[in-house]
Amino acid sequence: MKTLYDKLWDDHVVHDYDDHRSLIYIDRHLIHEVTSAQAFEGLRLANREPWRVNTNLAVPDHNVPTKNREIIEDPISKLQLETLDKNCRETGITKFEMSDSRQGIVHVIGPEQGASLPGMTIVCGDSHTSTNGALGALAFGIGTSEVEHVLATQCLVLKKEKNMLININGQIGKGISAKDIVLSIIGKIGTAGGTGYAIEFSGNVIRSLSMEGRMTICNMSIEAGSRVGLIAVDETTINYIKNRPFTPKNEEWDQAIKYWERLKSDDNATFDKVIEIDAANIEPQVTWGTSPEMVISVNEAIPNPSETEDIVKREGYKNALDYMDLKPGMRFDQIKIDKVFIGSCTNSRIEDLRAAANIIKGKKVSDSIKLAIVVPGSGLIKKQAEKEGISEIFIDSGFEWREPGCSMCLGMNSDQLGSGERCASTSNRNFEGRQGPGGRTHLASPSMAAAAAIAGHFIDIRGL
Amino acid sequence: MIAFKTFTGVIAPLDRSNVDTDAIIPKEYLKSIKRTGFGKNLFDAWRYIEADASDKNNHARKPNSEFILNKSPYDEAEILLSRENFGCGSSREHAVWALSDFGFKAVIAPSFGDIFYNNSFKNGFLPIRLTVDEINMLFKSVQSIQGYKATINLEKQIVKTQDGNEHSFDIDESLKIRLLKGLDDIALTLENSDAIVMYEKKRSKFTPWLFRKS
């Protein structure tokens, strides 16, 4: 009896070492500009060539401007983007140019292109690679040395993780999204709760989610400490990947379906840890602190550190309140938002944009908001949204409609928070300075961020 | 990679849990295409008074005199002591490069982010897991004795403090050997080239769509 993770692992073992480590074959390597330059350099210095060029797919995303694409003002960003160009050209690796409508956030374009498929091992020098696990693939983030290792050998030396199952069952409330589900899970198990585990998300709530929602869940498994998030293959998965550019065709498609259909945990498979979540209890979530586990329902008050027994945690809470300029007992309607960011590999897919547009339709962004931006996850999503009239809804209400990229999720480009600015953000990390030095991040779902743009502060969207 | 040798160094306390890799090296400083030079921006937001993303002005920035690494002898510390889940978050190996570049050779904490933990070993940098009780004890000593030192012996898997307390730690045997010998991971894997080729042959029959040329 095997778990989904066991099956994916077993299918990719090239060699077992005698110290509980295995050489694992990598089917897809996604590359972006920030974590790859030193790997290519290492390859060159050692006179090594990529092992299998066409398993690699590169795209610039972290540094790219989301407006005025013609000029990249920061010379260091420019050098990093040019270095990716040069490295791909020299090695023959396929790369989507900034001007290509297929360009976008690396974790968005993999599934969108069918370059990420069920049953694959997928790696990228980026922790949010776990997103791809929603397809029933073994996908995880790696460091730059491992990027070099994959380029040179098509393999990684890994120790198998333990198995964790998170079952989410019950009746999900109206207006509750995948983002609320995953934030509430992180709130419950903590940012280290999944460390050392591959997490499989299961239960009737997961089964009823779209692929977009599933990707949001797996995307943030790293925020629960787990490199690997997984969801079993079902009809939703197969329907999603059908007819995408890199997806197998004809007889190979039929053959692939047979292979993919077994990509679920056996009924009696044993997990090292099982967590049950009752979906009925999940309310709209907003983070208040500087770690994704510092999350509460929009209707709860900011917590009081003195009510926390753990001393280390109490200190963490105090630091977070101080950095976020919040006081215990405050309510979200008392906390004024300066900027709103809808985007990132967590929430920039068409479904996310539809949900946000649905909230703001016919309304105006509050005068107190300095900037509200929407950054689609890829050029194709942008096009689709424009076709559906979603872009107009955003623009009419006062949002800026941008070009695809990582944008304000990490502010390596010019989209940043100023010091002390407070942001309602659909991204994944509320760490100190993540969106810009001194910036203050509140993570929430696209609907919640959109509603905050209109009200000027967070509100419970269920009351709209 | 340089082999890891037994050394004695000052322990710098960083009394926080969940120190993420964004805090270790903020994204403003990830734009270099080299592996060196990140040390001056280690813990940048905590280390300097004003935020300044521009490298060239770095020398003119006012250090935060309250921050531990700006105080002697911790500005030359070689061991970092911290709390739970050190190195969580982003996969950026730059975090390890920044710690090494500053002069750290090891970090002691009760637990680590998985990717950070792995990245450390690729760079001759040793993450040491001790129990929460041992960490509490170390914090107590470090905070009461200025410039408190320890000797780290990887071979014996022991942290020996200046007052003679010994804390043994667990580590994967293979990771230990790689660090002690400074082995090249890629060269080691390429010794299994035949197995990789054989796997590809077998797998391409079973899942041919993964082996198409385009």
* Mean model confidence pLDDT for chain B: 93
pLDDT at B58: 65
Of residues B52 and A149, more confidence is placed in A149
Contact B192 A411 (CB under 8 A): no
Contact B195 A15 (CB under 8 A): yes
Residue A199 bridge partners (DSSP): A164, A229
How many residues does the structure list for chain A? 464
Give the residue carrying structure tokens 């300066």: A338
Q: How many CB atoms are closer than 10 A to CB B124? A: 18
Residue A443 bridge partners (DSSP): A425
User: What would the pLDDT profile of A60-116 be if each residue is shown by its tens digit?
Assistant: 999 999 998 888 888 888 999 999 999 999 999 999 999 999 999 999 999 999 999
pLDDT at A413: 84
Q: Which of B16, B119, B208 sits opposite A316 (nearest CB)?
A: B16
Average pLDDT over residues A410-427: 94
Contact B172 A142 (CB under 8 A): no
pLDDT exceeds 70 at position B56: no
Average pLDDT over residues A282-295: 98
CA distance B178 to B146: 34
Q: Which among A53, A94, A104, A27 has a CA at the least distance from the CA of A405?
A: A104
Nearest residue in A to B194, CA atom:
A14
* Mean model confidence pLDDT for chain A: 97
Every domain of chain B and the residues it spans = 7-183, 184-214
Cβ contacts of B189 on chain A, cutoff 8 Å: 23, 149, 152-153, 155, 157
Nearest residue in A to B30, CA atom:
A34
Could you give the residue ranges of the DSSP H alpha helices within A271-349? 311-324
pLDDT exceeds 70 at position B59: no
User: What would the pLDDT profile of B161-202 be if each residue is shown by its tens digit?
Assistant: 999 999 999 999 999 999 999 998 999 999 999 999 999 999
Helix (H) or strand (E) holding A158: strand A155-159
Contact A225 B113 (CB under 8 A): yes
- DSSP 3-state of A338: coil
User: What would the pLDDT profile of A193-250 be if each residue is shown by its tens digit?
Assistant: 999 999 999 999 999 999 999 999 999 999 999 999 999 999 999 999 999 999 999 9
What does R_g of chain B's alpha carbons equal in angstroms?
Answer: 20
In chain A, count H helices and then E strands. 15, 19
Q: Does A142 touch chain B (CB under 8 A)?
A: yes
Q: Which of B85, B92, B188 sits opposite A191 (nearest CB)?
A: B85
User: What would the pLDDT profile of B146-162 be if each residue is shown by its tens digit?
Assistant: 999 999 999 999 999 99
Confidence of residue A5 (pLDDT cuts 50, 70, 90): very high
Cβ contacts of A222 on chain B, cutoff 8 Å: 89
Confidence of residue A253 (pLDDT cuts 50, 70, 90): very high
Give how far A10 is from chain B: nearest CA, Å: 12
Contact B195 A14 (CB under 8 A): yes
pLDDT exceeds 60 at position A329: yes
Fold of B7-183: Aconitase; domain 4 (3.20.19)
pLDDT at A366: 98
Confidence of residue B105 (pLDDT cuts 50, 70, 90): very high
